[in-house]
Amino acid sequence: MEIKELNYLIAIAEEKSISKAAERLYMAQSSLSQYLQTLESNLDTKLFIRTNKGIRLTEAGDIMLKYAYSTLSEYHRAKDEIQDLKNLQSGKVILGISEFRGSYLLPPVLNAFKLDHPGIKVQIVERNSMALERLLISGDIDIALLVLPVSDTRIQADFVMNDEICLIASENHPIIHYAHTYDSSNSQSHIPQYVDIKDAAQYEFLLSDYNTILGREARRIFSRNGLQPITCNESLSALMAAGLGASGQGLAFTYYSSRHYFRSARFFSLGEDRASIQLAVALPPGRYHSKATKALRDVMMKILYE
């Protein structure tokens, strides 16, 4: 089997759907189905069976999946060890990070890394934390910035920073008239001012999907306070919601770290409803890590650590 075919098998198993696996692999569903039929024919056994919830592995399929993971792991190990022979003079590191967070946290990291190791290329893969965990396990990425806690106990992640969830608004949004200044002597927030969500609820909100951290947290806060937000857009990406909020189109939930991106916007903590996430750097478990990967991890820890 070729390396790409191992990735085909893993994608089908993880997605539990040929159509979703084909989408993930950027290939036609018919081509992926043909690959699976050919593989099962060569092995003279079924690797998957159909259920009302999709497809699942047979006992033979489980054996093949373990083989695929093991083979890919050894392949990546060999590549990393060969790369290390060049002693950081050239090579590549594959870094996984969310699209929104990466847009403002990565530039200073990559600038610092390039100064120290100009010959090392950094390939960026944009996914959410759950998808990045899967890519770490499969060995498809070398390092990732994840949201804690991780769901897979095999992944060991090193804490980097707390990132507070807050409101973003334009400089002239009327919410500023309801802002309070924290007492610096006992505040646990890095944000100087806060607003009460009940005061903010009179204004229009721009919300992200419920299946995102910001979308779930926003709805949890509104529900806990017995509020029904004024909305027109409720399924925006985190970047779109924050960008529109910063431009004066309404209020949006964002992470305080995005202040590095939206420099002219105003940020407000949520007072008693304040919440935050923890970010961590993680490497693929149980495999060799190249010198370049460990060097990038060190730079990320140095630049991002708070």
Strand, helix or coil at 28?
coil
Cα 36 to chain centroid, rounded: 30
- What lies within 8 Å, CB to CB, of 305 at 6+ separation is 160, 161
Shared domain check, 114 and 45: no
Q: Round to whole Å and give the CA distance between 91 and 118.
A: 10
Q: Would you report the helix, strand and coil content of the chain in percent, each value rounded to 5?
A: 45, 25, 30
Q: Round to whole Å and give the CA distance between 72 and 210.
A: 34
Domain, as residue range, for 150 = 88-156+283-304
Residue that finishes a domain, picked among 16, 50, 79: 79
Number of folded domains that form the chain? 3
**Secondary element (H or E) of residue 118:** none
pLDDT of residue 76: 76
Shared domain check, 127 and 93: yes
CB atoms within 10 A of CB 259: 17
DSSP code of residue 69:
H
Shared domain check, 268 and 167: yes
Cα–Cα nearest to 251, from 135, 167, 184: 167
Bin 156: left if φ > 0, else alpha if -120 < ψ < 50, else beta.
beta
pLDDT of residue 123: 95
For residue 209, what are the CA distances in angstroms to 3, 218, 240, 267? 35, 10, 12, 21
Identify the CATH number of the domain in which residue 123 sits: 3.40.190.10
Strand, helix or coil at 299?
helix
The low-confidence residues of the chain, meaning pLDDT below 50, are none
Percent of the chain clearing pLDDT 70 (strictly above): 98
Shared domain check, 39 and 14: yes
Q: In this structure, what is the dihedral angle of CA atoms 141, 147, 153, 158, given to the nearest 10 degrees?
A: 80
Shared domain check, 67 and 11: yes
pLDDT of residue 287: 79
Strand, helix or coil at 106?
helix
Shared domain check, 241 and 213: yes
Shared domain check, 290 and 149: yes
pLDDT of residue 186: 61
- What lies within 8 Å, CB to CB, of 33 at 6+ separation is 18
